[in-house]
Amino acid sequence: MLSNIDTSAGAAVVDTVTVDTLICGPIEVPEDRIITFETPLLGFPDHEQFVIYQTKPGPLFWLQSITDKDVAFAVLMPFQVGMDPDYDINAEDLELLGVDDLQEVSVYTMVTLDGDPQNTTTNLRAPILVGRSRAVQVVYDNDALELRYPLARLAQMDAPRK
């Protein structure tokens, strides 16, 4: 469903789309916040368009298909939590994303949630790169990038040392 939002007096009207989400139910999303995967997300060839949103402030987000509410993933901004994975984002990636500069790229990693937070992990080997309204999942052949990096390690890094 497409609707219009007048963001403020005298401002331009913004077209929005209602997206039925797994976590929050229906939400209104500005049309320009919809991202299209230039190559299919691994394992989901029929889902091209997604929106990234948050339910609360912090480094965790939701990557939600705009066509199927049951296709949603928790994602993490690894650099926002002090991680520094060695990603080789090259000129070809920038071109695919429609950006000119690395500063225009947001990086997300898929999170596998677990009932026990100690077992929650993120996949550092296959990050999602987002530039403007385009996205791509890149798979790196680098064993230093863990497939199941335990997020509990982040808490250990922040813990005071004795």
> Using an 8 Å Cβ cutoff, are 105 and 134 in contact?
no
Predicted pLDDT at 123: 97
* Residue 4 binned pLDDT confidence (cut-offs 50, 70, 90): very low
CB contact set of 155 (below 8 Å; sequence gap of 6+): none
- Whether the per-residue pLDDT at 161 is higher than 90: the answer is no
Predicted pLDDT at 154: 87
- Whether the per-residue pLDDT at 160 is higher than 70: the answer is no
Average of pLDDT values for 84-112? 95
- What is the DSSP-derived secondary structure letter of residue 22? T
Burial of 35 per CB tally in 10 Å (0-12, 13-18, 19+): buried
Backbone φ, ψ for residue 42 (5° rounding):
-55, 125
The correct answer on CATH 2.30.290.10 for the domain covering 15-158 is yes
Read off the pTM.
Answer: 0.87
Q: Where are the domains of the chain?
A: 15-158
- Whether the per-residue pLDDT at 158 is higher than 50: the answer is yes
* Residue 57 binned pLDDT confidence (cut-offs 50, 70, 90): very high
Predicted pLDDT at 157: 66
Give the residue ranges of DSSP H helices in 1-90. Answer: none
